[in-house]
Amino acid sequence: MDAWDAHAAQRLAKGPLRPLEPPARMEWTQRPGIGPGAEILGEDLAGRRVVELGCGPGNNAAHLTSIGAKVTGVDRSKGQIQRAVAHYGHHGTEFVHSRALGYLTREGERLDAIVSVFGAIGLGEPAKLLSACSRRLERKGVLAFSVPHPQRTGTIPASPRTRDRMTLPDGTTATVDRWDIDPAAWVRAFNRAGLLITGVSNLFAPADARWPTTLLITARKP
Ligand SMILES: C[S@@+](CC[C@H](N)C(=O)[O-])C[C@H]1O[C@@H](n2cnc3c(N)ncnc32)[C@H](O)[C@@H]1O
């Protein structure tokens, strides 16, 4: 069982989940109210086709639905999808149990935006996933994603593959493998995938953090 399945299993074991109202804001960091919201995806998302890769319990996907987008949340963890459906399935968001790459290559519909919030982008080698995103995006479509900042401990890791510890709801820990690359390496990876970077932000969450905690990157299909 991977860390996200274990996380979901512990949350599901606590009892039945109840439907929730979608959050009022899109969050790109793990603290509320820091940095931009959904406006970085375009001014009016009504009717726009958006996919979230690694949606977890579905909060951001549900927010995007609440402002009129047609949203699919994709997650490789069955338990996380169960949580997302229980919380927000009533609200019109579609949730699909799948690996991100499999979903993107299996389906054909063109997308206006693809997002990942500490999700599938950054949790594996990016080349194939970014190329698949590029193929699915409409011209001028937006790809936006956030990852733990590579400089969050004050130094850039020597190797792009790192292993983080994550605390599960019961207090035990699990490990998560990441692709921890600096902004310049992301720019190269995006260029190779045929996507143009339009913004790179270093976010501090909490606001008084010593080092940036979150790297937020936006790109556009030319
Ligand atoms: C830190 S959680 C983020 C969840 C959500 N985006 C949020 O902000 O609350 C990472 C999620 O990405 C999912 N994930 C990791 N690799 C994936 C992949 N290759 N395809 C789809 N989902 C993936 C995990 O199962 C997990 O639910």
CATH number at residue 194: 3.40.50.150
Here the tokens at position 147 are 């990852």
- Measured CA to CA, the distance from residue 51 to residue 202 in angstroms comes to 23
pLDDT at 126: 92
Note down the domain range covering 195.
3-16+44-220
Whether 38 maps to a domain, the answer reads: no
pTM value surpassing 0.85: yes
**Tally of CB atoms within 10 A around 19:** 11
The single residue listed with the structure tokens 């693809």 is 114
8-state DSSP, 48: -
Cβ pair 216, 28 in contact under 8 A: yes
Ligand 1 centroid – CA 73 distance (Å)? 10
Ligand 1 centroid – CA 32 distance (Å)? 18
Closest residue CA from atom 9 of ligand 1 = 56
Tell me the backbone φ, ψ of residue 134, rounded to 5 degrees: -60, -40
**What residues contact 163, with CB distance under 8 A and at least 6 apart?**
175, 176, 177, 178
pLDDT at 33: 96
Which of 123, 178, 216 has the most ligand 1 atoms within 8 A of CB, as the residue to mutate?
123
Domains: count for the chain? 1
Closest residue CA from atom 10 of ligand 1 = 119
- Measured CA to CA, the distance from residue 219 to residue 115 in angstroms comes to 10
Closest residue CA from atom 13 of ligand 1 = 54
Whether 69 maps to a domain, the answer reads: yes
Which strand ranges, in their side-by-side order, compose the sheet holding 49-53?
94-97, 70-75, 49-53, 111-117, 137-148, 214-220, 196-203
Whether 115 maps to a domain, the answer reads: yes
Closest ligand 1 atom to residue 116 Cα is 6
Whether 174 maps to a domain, the answer reads: yes
- Ligand 1 site residues (CB inside 6 A) read 4, 53-56, 59-60, 74-77, 80, 99-100, 117-120, 123-124
Q: Taking the CA atoms of 69, 122, 101 and 132 in sequence, report the sign of the dihedral they define.
A: positive
Whether 199 maps to a domain, the answer reads: yes
Give pLDDT tens digits along the chain (222 positions).
789 999 999 999 988 889 999 999 999 999 999 999 999 999 899 999 999 999 999 999 999 999 999 999 999 999 999 999 999 999 899 999 999 999 999 988 999 999 999 999 999 889 999 999 999 999 999 999 999 999 998 887 778 888 889 999 999 999 999 998 888 899 999 999 999 999 999 999 999 999 999 999 999 999
Whether 32 maps to a domain, the answer reads: no
Nearest to 178 by CA among 54, 28, 61: 54
pLDDT at 210: 96
Ligand 1 centroid – CA 157 distance (Å)? 22
pLDDT at 50: 98
Whether 214 maps to a domain, the answer reads: yes
Whether 54 maps to a domain, the answer reads: yes
Closest ligand 1 atom to residue 98 Cα is 21
Ligand 1 centroid – CA 66 distance (Å)? 21
